[in-house]
Amino acid sequence: MGACSDPKARYGGARRAGAVPHAGMTLFTLLAGVSSSAMAADPAAEVVYQNGTVHTVDQTGTVAQALAISAGKIAYVGSNAGAQSLIGKNTKVIDLAGHTVMPGLIDGHMHPVAAGMDLLKCNLSYASLTLAQFRARIQSCLDERSKTEGPDSWLEVVNWFRYGMGADAARVDRKVLDSLKTQRPIIVHDSFGHSSLVSSRALVLARVTKQTQDPVGGRIARDAAGEPTGILEDAAQESVGALLPKPSAADHVAGARAALRALGQQGVTAFLDAVGTDEDIEAFTAVEREGGLSARAHFAPLIRPADAQTSDAAREAVARLVATAKKYDQGTIRSAPSVSVHQAKLFMDGVINAPANTGALLEPYLVNRGTAQAPKFEPAARREPDVYFPVPVLKEILIDLGRNNIDPHLHTDGDWAVRAGLDAVKAMRAALPGRDVRPAFAHCELVDPADYPRFAQLNVVPVLSFQWEKPASDTVDGVVDSLGARRAALVEPAGWLAEKGARIAYGSDWPVDPLDEWFALQVGVTRKERPGAPPKYSGRLGKDPGLSQAAVLQAITRNAAYELHEDRYIGSLEVGKLADLIVVDRDVATVAPDRISGTKVLRTVVGGRVVYDSGELKK
């Protein structure tokens, strides 16, 4: 099943979502006149779930008691009494005992293979570390790995929560790594994925010097004398990254399998790998061929800014991406999970978080023109960085992607990146009227209020990471100083975007954060940190009203299915759709918001097949 089953079905014309029968209708009624004689003779379902609360997350918010599955699809949604006619001698009947059934979670933005492989590396585990703790943790890795790794081999450190180091973050440079007891070159990846710290030896090996120019879409941090500090932002990381030992195909497959296990336990039944490399796609394809794919795998190959700075280069970049999609995409999704490639990833900027400040803003960042003891924050002399793609070329890229039925997925963190992206979508809509292209903008941490209504007007899906919508070191410390109080109060505008009609989807961005979908949904409603956080992180973040429980559930189910262009088949529990569902231990639609994070997944089902089971459901 590894080859594309019908690439023409996806690339021969625009994708169109179709109507789905209403809840309460059976699949057998739906298929009357076209079903096989065997189905007509035996209307019994394969599996019936009853005595529970079934949240369909359909357009009207239907809630039922029972659900039946046949041939990998939902055959019935309705009352317990209505389900009885579908129970035959071979039907497996599951007593929900009051538990809740809902659509499987659809994560609209993550990096699963990288997350899986990170588990095998020197891992700082997102901890908020002091400078001394940072140094000690890395030295411990060096000491432990010296038993099996050579004295000149690279040490790769992951999940450094740079933004949790407070004032120490500004003091972290190559000299910190140089002080460790080793001669090994070292690279430390910030958990956000947009920054790395490297040692002096790593800079030498990568030939990064005072004379090295900043690459397109990146920045080399420098000291007062112009020497590299060891901090590399965005594309500047590539010079060192190119020297790291390449993971083998087996490493990628192991990462994919580890990720799938974690996804099943969280209740994730479909996802988008938001920088889908060939190696990542091949890894999941290999797992699919073995019958081990337990979630629907969607990929967005990357168009790099450096590869698309002119019209000719942009056309070539799109052509390469379309060729990748045709090579790997397995056609219309079916009961068994498969591989889909019909999105494209473009980075418009970096992150608005201090001290990186690589997000593209409409107004300059504020800089301290005073002292540490008596700070005086004033606007920088100029607005930087600029967006990573020239705006005229960006418009051409989106139009070309749309013509090829590829949905653009843009990283837009700052308000200038959002504005430029919306302008490009407007040009695409004008050039391709009526075509069903579904642009998605990931993160949207700062959006100018004038642009809130444009998401709905242009049918752009904001794919938001709700877990960021709380007071924490990455949203408070330094952010008010570098953005100013007015802009800092506007960060993470999920509620305001929803009020203006935006169709919001959810994306965890794992492994930027630990994979914890239920905590993220809780924060999407409460905009609060976990209990026990330091006092300065108490209360709600900013002025945004947040989302309702119904809205966050729609974001991670129906809306994310729409984003992935799969809402005809998944995202809600309706007769005729694929049987992607989860059973959880509480009614997440009505439970107190501060209890959402404690949700336990009891069973995960994809296309009617159980891919994770806690063993707690009655048989």
Distances (CA, A) of 55 to 43, 296, 392, 520: 24, 21, 45, 19
pLDDT of 338 strictly over 60: yes
The per-residue pLDDT for range 522-564, each reduced to its tens digit, is 999 999 999 888 888 999 999 999 999 999 999 999 999 999 9
User: How far is residue 223's CA from residue 221's CA, in Å, rounded to a whole number?
Assistant: 7
User: How far is residue 500's CA from residue 514's CA, in Å, rounded to a whole number?
Assistant: 30
> What pLDDT sits at residue 198?
96
pLDDT-derived band at 33, boundaries 50, 70, 90: very low
> What pLDDT sits at residue 391?
95
Query: In the chain, pLDDT over 90 holds for what percent of residues?
Result: 79
Q: Quick check: 65 and 51 in contact, CB under 8 A?
A: yes
**Which residues pair with residue 189 across a beta bridge?**
196
Strand arrangement, sheet containing 66-70:
73-78, 66-70, 47-50, 92-95
pLDDT of 6 strictly over 70: no
The per-residue pLDDT for range 567-589, each reduced to its tens digit, is 999 999 999 999 999 999 999 99
pTM of the model: 0.85
> What pLDDT sits at residue 11?
37
DSSP letter assigned to residue 597: G
pLDDT of 166 strictly over 60: yes
Token representation of residue 168: 């120490």
The per-residue pLDDT for range 283-324, each reduced to its tens digit, is 999 999 999 999 999 999 999 999 999 999 999 999 999 999
> What pLDDT sits at residue 618?
72
The per-residue pLDDT for range 454-507, each reduced to its tens digit, is 999 999 999 999 999 999 988 888 788 999 999 999 999 999 999 999 999 999
pLDDT-derived band at 26, boundaries 50, 70, 90: low
- Work out the average pLDDT over 20-38: 39
Q: Quick check: 536 and 505 in contact, CB under 8 A?
A: no
Q: Quick check: 295 and 611 in contact, CB under 8 A?
A: yes
pLDDT of 171 strictly over 90: no
> What pLDDT sits at residue 25?
52
> What pLDDT sits at residue 42?
52
The per-residue pLDDT for range 372-402, each reduced to its tens digit, is 788 899 999 999 999 999 999 999 999 999 9
Q: Which helix (H) or strand (E) holds 37?
A: helix 37-41
pLDDT of 29 strictly over 90: no
> What pLDDT sits at residue 163?
81
CA dihedral of residues 392, 397, 402, 406 (deg, nearest 10): -150
pLDDT of 596 strictly over 90: yes
C-alpha R_g of the chain: 25
- Work out the average pLDDT over 254-274: 96
67-76, 161-170, 173-182, 243-252: lowest mean pLDDT where? 161-170
Contacts of 392 (CB under 8 A, 6+ apart): none
What fold characterizes domain 104-571? TIM Barrel (3.20.20)
Q: Quick check: 329 and 4 in contact, CB under 8 A?
A: yes
Q: Which helix (H) or strand (E) holds 250?
A: helix 249-266
Whether the domain at 7-103+577-613 and the domain at 104-571 fall into the same CATH topology: no
The per-residue pLDDT for range 127-148, each reduced to its tens digit, is 889 999 999 999 999 999 888 8
pLDDT of 274 strictly over 80: yes
User: How far is residue 588's CA from residue 104's CA, in Å, rounded to a whole number?
Assistant: 13
The per-residue pLDDT for range 60-114, each reduced to its tens digit, is 999 999 999 999 999 999 999 999 999 999 999 999 999 999 999 999 999 999 8
The per-residue pLDDT for range 600-610, each reduced to its tens digit, is 999 999 999 99
Where are the domains positioned within the chain?
A: 7-103+577-613, 104-571
- Which CATH number does 7-103+577-613 carry? 2.30.40.10
pLDDT of 1 strictly over 80: no
> What pLDDT sits at residue 425?
98
Token representation of residue 362: 């409409």
> What pLDDT sits at residue 501?
98
Spatial CA neighbour of 354 closest among 219, 487, 473: 473
pLDDT of 422 strictly over 80: yes
User: How far is residue 386's CA from residue 86's CA, in Å, rounded to a whole number?
Assistant: 60
Average pLDDT, the chain: 91
